[in-house]
Amino acid sequence: MNQKLLSIITVVFNEENNIEKTIESVIAHLTSECEYIIIDGGSTDGTIEIVGNYTDFINEFISEPDSGIYDAMNKGIARASGKWLYFINAGDQLLNIPAEILLTSNNDQLLSFPVFINKKKRLLPNFNSFILIKNTLPHQGCFYLNDGFVKYNLDYPIFSDYHLNLRYYQSKKIVKCFKSPIVASHSTNGVSNSKKSIGEFYSLVHKENGFFWFLLSFIYFKLRGVRYRLFK
């Protein structure tokens, strides 16, 4: 059997109000070159029933307790057979699959595309030393080569996606960024945008990048916060 071009992975837990719009956005772009995998963390609301309405479009669905979002993502990776891996979670919406770029890519290990934030602000990816201060690759815009390198570190339950992208930078992987197309839309209501995430973020930067980059990161976000309060 020929390998699929793309494995699309959605993880979800008790998101009955958000999962359907995500599934429908994926279905609108599915082709025979794609497989769709949904990993549920053992939802107790109506999520499982909603997913059940779309089984004709889903290649694999499992529902069982996990250790959080990145544990669920690792389960999805283990079941994926596509050449490329793409993650779009409950509440996000898929807008475009850059199939031609995925098909013609040679030697690239990560392709990153822009996304919409809250349906209006465009976030462009960048891959340079600035990633040592903040995540410059939007998770919903990343297509990872399924070569065994992609695995989320459960030591970082909120920012393991950032940690993964740091590993690509530190390992000098071949990463290519694009200004178009915009591939997804996501909101900023997640836990990574909550106050309790700050400690994990700075701990990660300090541990992985060192004190110098931790200090620059701290100063950067403090100045950005001041600017936001002055000009909002």
Give the CATH number for residue 85: 3.90.550.10
- Domain residue limits at 158: 6-187
Distance CA 119, CA 142 (A): 18
- What pLDDT does 194 receive? 55
Please give the C-alpha separations between residue 117 and each of 58, 75, 101, 114, 224, in angstroms, as whole numbers: 26, 27, 23, 10, 17
Number of domains in the chain: 1
Q: Is residue 141 part of a domain?
A: yes
- What pLDDT does 1 receive? 53
Q: What's this model's pTM, rounded to 2 decimal places?
A: 0.94
Residues in the chain with pLDDT < 70?
1, 189-196, 232
Q: How many residues are listed for the chain in this entry?
A: 232
Q: Is residue 120 part of a domain?
A: yes
- What pLDDT does 146 receive? 98
Residue 11's φ and ψ, nearest 5 degrees, are -110, 145
Q: What is the pLDDT of residues 34-49, one digit of tens each?
A: 999 999 999 999 999 9
Residue in the structure block whose two tokens are 């945008």: 193
Degrees to nearest 5, angle at CA 28 with 26 and 33: 75
- What pLDDT does 225 receive? 83
